[in-house]
Amino acid sequence: MKGPLFYSKILLFGEYGIIKDSKGLSIPYNFFKGALKADDNTSEIAKNSNSSLREFVGYLEMIQKNSPDLVSFDFKSLKADVEAGMYFDSSIPQGYGVGSSGALVAAIYDKYAQNKITVLENLTREKLLVLKTIFGKMESFFHGKSSGLDPLNSYLSLPILINSKDNIESTSLPSQNTEGKGAVFLLDSGSTGETAPMVQLFMEKMKQEGFRNMLKDQFIKHTDACVDDFVNGNVKSLFGNLKQLSHVVLNNFKPMIPTKFHELWQRGIETNEYYLKLCGSGGGGYILGFTQDFDQAKKTLKDYNLEVVYNF
């Protein structure tokens, strides 16, 4: 048995903001992928994945019991496959903000959900919201509260535009300019980050009125503008808004940025060679970068591993 491939995702804009109803834009990232497998793999990784799946099955039974109208699974097949050693074979790094648990959730739903909503039907806003709700409940097993967006992106393999909590749609992006000098890239921080503690930290900060105001008046304002610019291909305006957003994040989300990157972050803002932002919840993993001259950014960031995600 080898299931279909599910890809990682990148939330280009909206980290933390979408908790408070900002816009967001999430894209599939085909560089990393995973699939359900049942073979004779006896590696530690396969064993650990299998034992995690066992626990996950119990959790899914609880979801079905509590929300029978929302989702039901073919537990007979699922349990038999897990007993036979099924595991999730994945190249998606964990704790890097690119949706490792999301791809697994999408794979399990795809194979074992009954009366599932498929990618081939007319995906109305209502259907997308139902999927997002199901995926949010499923993924909460892995890191506390989940929006369900990562699995949704992985399941559909389409860019998703988040207009607000209850208004999401699949979208198309301007065609990439493969000859262009500009790029969106991932910078490897060299360490993993944990989602749950970072989100907890954010929720603590939300208790302060000053932080809440900053979020509304600055962070969400610039995030929304970046999403609009990106979707509409307004590159010049996008980089103006990115600079503001990068600045707001450096000033207000310092704990989510690994300390050794504070200076590098500031340098980008001062030189305009690149702008950095959080990829996912931060604390480690990947950092997202945007530049209008990738060759120049590569020289400046020569000590780091960079992966291009999108070309302008």
Per-residue model confidence as pLDDT tens digits over 113-149: 999 999 888 888 899 999 999 999 999 998 777 888 8
In the prediction, which pLDDT does 252 show?
Answer: 94
CA angle 217–221–224, rounded 5-degree value: 160
In the prediction, which pLDDT does 175 show?
Answer: 86
Residue 37: its H or E element: strand 24-37
Rounded CA gap, 276 and 220, in Å? 17
Please indicate, yes or no, whether the overall pTM of this predicted structure exceeds 0.85.
yes
Contact 138, 97 (CB under 8 A): no
Question: By C-alpha distance, which of 117, 111, 38 is closest to 73?
Answer: 111
Other Cβ atoms less than 10 A from the Cβ of 142: the count is 19
Contact 23, 227 (CB under 8 A): yes
Read off the amino acid at residue 41: N
In the prediction, which pLDDT does 169 show?
Answer: 92
3-state DSSP of 126-170? HHHHHHHHHHHHHHHHHHCCCCCHHHHHHHHCCCEEEEECCEEEE
In the prediction, which pLDDT does 233 show?
Answer: 93
Rounded CA gap, 126 and 129, in Å? 5
Q: For the chain, report the end-to-end CA distance as a whole number of angstroms.
A: 40
Contact 176, 310 (CB under 8 A): yes
In the prediction, which pLDDT does 104 show?
Answer: 95
In the prediction, which pLDDT does 194 show?
Answer: 83
pLDDT under 50 in the chain at which residues?
none
In the prediction, which pLDDT does 114 show?
Answer: 96
DSSP helix/strand/coil, 229: helix
In the prediction, which pLDDT does 78 show?
Answer: 98
